[in-house]
């Protein structure tokens, strides 16, 4: 039997394998699993995805048959949260802007003259969205002496207390946070949720971090505010994914652009594989899935 991954479910070799398959482990780029595939996989009971959302390859027929599905979204959230933590700590310390100044002047730089209120002690971090990533960010921030507030319409006061965060409106978060970090899903209702009015509420010196999706932000309004020079931004995602060469975001010294690198890359991909394999091991022991996906959950995934 071949040990190579299946790239096409309709190849003769793949059909022979699927006919005897109880558990299918999938990854990014997996072709759709619809009724036609299920017809050649009568024993299939589980789909374990070594990645985030399964909405693009787990079809309605899978849910109708009652196939149990899991994903590695929690594992994929960890490097995004780690990236966010690093950016928060560096931003509050003024590291990126101070380093850029040093490279420019090529002479002595006194950091506190540039940023008199630099430092992480006592700063307020605003997390927009108590998603998987948002919750991992909160977890990673706990060892630091920071104040953490969250804006999420689906988070209750009880849940916020359990997370050890303050629950505030999006407007209050924008007006009072030293860092605003976006972790909401991409939905029709969240497109341009960071709009011009909200961006205008950001305090002078605030750093805005986006590792979510570019379409959640009114980029024209953000660029206009950034051009004033009183706001900083770390943008790992934009719309489009690759900005045109004449984009103003490239030109501003108060903007750090990264090429969608916060998510799992390099060795971090191994964590996704481990997550899927551990799910398979649970099944072999007769245990329930740790990260089950319900069809109703798909409406809240990017």
Arithmetic mean of pLDDT, 64-74? 96
Instruction: Indicate the pairing of strand 292-293 with strand 68-70.
Output: antiparallel
Compute, in degrees rounded to 10, the torsion defined by CA atoms 84, 248, 260, 189: 80
Place of tokens 């190579």: 4
Computed from CA positions of residues 30, 133, 222, 233, in that sequence, does the dihedral angle turn out positive or negative?
Answer: negative
Higher pLDDT, 10 or 267: 267
pLDDT score of 159 more than 80: yes
Q: What are the helix (H) ranges across the chain?
A: 12-18, 35-39, 60-65, 73-93, 95-105, 111-114, 132-141, 157-163, 170-176, 196-201, 219-226, 269-284
pLDDT, position 12 = 84
Closest to 48 measured CA to CA, from 244, 219, 291 = 291
pTM above 0.85, yes or no: yes
Rounded to the nearest integer, the mean pLDDT of the chain is: 94
Structural domains of the chain in order of their starting residue, each with its CATH number: 12-74+266-300 (3.40.50.720), 76-257 (3.40.50.720)
pLDDT class of 245 with cuts at 50, 70, 90: very high
- The phi, psi pair for 207, rounded to 5°, reads -110, 125
Arithmetic mean of pLDDT, 29-55? 93
User: HSE-up of 7 (CA within 13 Å, CB side)?
Assistant: 1
């Amino acid at each position: 039997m071949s040990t190579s991954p299946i790239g096409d479910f309709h190849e003769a070799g793949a059909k022979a394998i699927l006919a005897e398959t109880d558990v299918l482990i999938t990854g990014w780029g997996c072709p759709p699993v619809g009724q036609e595939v299920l017809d050649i996989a009568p024993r299939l009971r589980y789909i374990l995805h070594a990645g985030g959302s399964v909405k693009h390859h787990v079809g309605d027929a899978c849910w109708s048959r009652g196939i149990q599905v899991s994903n590695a979204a929690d594992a994929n959230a960890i490097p995004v949260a780690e990236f966010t933590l690093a950016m928060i700590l560096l931003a509050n310390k003024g590291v990126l802007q101070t380093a850029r100044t040093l490279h420019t002047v090529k002479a002595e730089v006194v950091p506190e003259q540039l940023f008199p209120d630099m430092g992480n002690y006592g700063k307020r971090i605003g997390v927009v969205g108590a998603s998987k990533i948002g919750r991992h960010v909160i977890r990673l921030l706990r060892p630091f002496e920071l104040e953490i507030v969250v804006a999420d319409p689906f988070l209750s006061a009880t849940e916020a207390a359990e997370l050890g965060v303050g629950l505030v409106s999006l407007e209050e978060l924008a007006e009072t946070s030293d860092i605003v970090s976006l972790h909401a899903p991409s939905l029709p209702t969240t497109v341009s949720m960071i709009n011009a009015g909200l961006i205008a509420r950001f305090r002078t010196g605030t750093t805005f971090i986006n590792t979510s999706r570019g379409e959640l932000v009114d980029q024209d309004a953000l660029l206009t505010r950034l051009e004033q020079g009183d706001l900083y931004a770390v943008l790992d995602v934009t719309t489009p994914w690759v900005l045109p060469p004449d984009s103003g975001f490239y030109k501003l010294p108060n903007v750090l652009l990264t090429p969608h690198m916060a998510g799992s890359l390099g060795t971090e991909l191994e964590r996704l594989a481990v997550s899927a394999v551990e799910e398979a091991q649970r099944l072999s022991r007769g245990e329930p899935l740790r990260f089950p996906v319900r069809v109703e959950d798909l409406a809240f995934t990017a």
